[in-house]
Chain A
């Protein structure tokens, strides 16, 4: 499926808080085609959730503003739509799965009613038909005894089932694009495996494009077609999932992969690779390459912002020194 023309395309998106300071999300470009899964990875504070909220038109404006860029979906720029037009799209052709079903769903209404409400908001159907659709969706996401769960409240369901309800609600109107923000982070690993498998199955069935936001490289390896690695508000590397894991180029990506406790084998000497220091705060954002102050390869040239340049088919990296093994001289081992 990769290679098809993009369904959703983000160009040069920049977001900041208030008027001063630096951009929290800076010049981010992404695209996703039908049936494709794009994963946005990065650590806390890298701007991945802000990007997702911007796509859904859910940024708290003010104080958070989009200052540049466009989001092309279906021939229109989402950033130019009115609130009414956006809420027509939201929950219909654009849907979102949040990390915490406990806070994203209403504890005071039965779950079936909430799914039916999402259907009735966008489709001209009767109450009965909407309820029928809700039942069908609950069955589809694998909730046992779906008939009885229709009238269950959130607190009566387990964590995995709540997340299934949210998925059912997001998919009820056959969205073209599904945005999932850390959908499995709050779940246990066996339940995570069930949910990821379910999402992949449903996606294959409907051809929905998915943008999945996560900090877990294991999840990325499991579901992504394409990956964008974000650091401090910028995309530092992007490409097909295979290229990213087998041929990581950016020092941040290398550090991130190296710091995963090796599932395959213990790392040499048993020590994990680490990334020293901390993610810069928005007030103290470096002007050049934002990773420079934590980068073991930093040099004077890093005071300039590195362009996201092509290094292989579909594989882009924002580092002056990529590929590192050709540009960085070997040091005499101490």
Chain B
């Protein structure tokens, strides 16, 4: 059937706080029984608000954290129970891109050394071959090979994220997991990095798992989406179907809360969700969302809904989703006037024109030593 590259089965991660003098220690159920299938070559995004456990899940998937219970299957092996030595070899295939390009790169290593390090750790190639490969990767992510001997502080946020991506690609991974890879970046730079990730995915045959809270970004890059709430997966499905008509009441509220990027769509209705996300150390019984759900009834307060099939490759964990009124999803902004559309076309055309249509064109100079250059990114 479908070709799965990574699979999670009833994955749990509970963190226990230090024991207090009296009473029991607090257990935070950051990830609580998640099943997940990642298909080969797809981009799967995990969305949710702070504290929903999405970053913990990402770390469990490549065993940066050991699960409390459950398994993660990669290539038929359960990596959650693999000995550390065997795991190390597998890490070559599973790589991570961190959110903060400022703290995830060693400031005392040059860019080339940073990119060569994973290859060295896995005993790939000769010294010369590794350096050659580092140059190639730098060029590929849109940085000049001349920058290889500079240090991370000489680069902007977007450039550092490119270095982080080059580093994670150095071992030729099969799966790339990005924990909020673009959320620390300004919108124009964010667009460059998103375009780059999409190109690299095709070129390197990657499967991407992206953790994000920005639903606009998620919609743009993903094939499938999973929504988390308080450690549980409450809805999964193909991106377009999800955004057109989210099924779970929480998904609906989440989409409704996104500010529409057009003043004509400005909503006047009060926000659907009141209050804050409850503490993951004391999640409500039954459906974890019932305390904030406008459709909750007595059953929701006692019985926890299972993630069940909703047709069209979608799954949802709600007792009542069949009987809820159809949701509108995200409104489409009205079309622009013809002359304005032409203006956008001109901009796109001009931005693309002088350089060859590839983003392996060296693109930006570091912050220091800015020389006159033709900056082009397609």
Contacts and interface: CB of A to CB of B under 8 A. Distances in A.
Interface of A: 43-44, 144, 158-161, 188-194, 196-197, 215-219, 221-222, 224, 241-242, 245-249, 251, 254-256, 258-267, 270-278, 281, 284, 293-294, 296-297, 323-325, 328, 330-331, 333-334
B260 A222 contact: yes
B341 to A, nearest CB: 9
Residue of B213, B215, B340 with most chain A CB atoms under a 10 A cut-off: B340
Contacts of B219: 261-263, 266
Contacts of A217: 187, 261
A192 B257 contact: yes
A47 to B, nearest CB: 14
A258 to B, nearest CB: 6
Given A43-B188, A194-B274, A293-B375, A273 B348 contact: yes
B259 A273 contact: no
Chain A binding surface SS class: loop
A278 B364 contact: yes
B110 interface: no
Contacts of A254: 343-344, 347
Nearest to A268: B348
Between B188, B191, B351, the greatest number of chain A beta carbons within 10 A of the residue's beta carbon is seen for: B188
Interface in B97-125: none
B342 interface: yes
Contact of B259 (A222, A261, A278): A222
A281 B343 contact: no
Contact of A264 (B194, B267, B333): B333
B342 A325 contact: yes
A35 B289 CA distance: 37
B270 A255 contact: no
Contact of B353 (A192, A264, A323, A334): A334
B375 A276 contact: yes
What are the 6 A-B residue pairs with the smallest beta carbon separation, nearest first?
A218-B259, A296-B350, A261-B220, A277-B375, A259-B191, A193-B257
Interface string B248-280: 000001101111111111110011011111000
B337 A278 contact: no
Given A256-B187, A260-B187, 4 more contacts: A196-B259, A218-B260, A261-B194, A323-B343
Contacts of A190: 49, 253-254, 257, 271, 273
B270 to A, nearest CB: 6
B132 interface: no
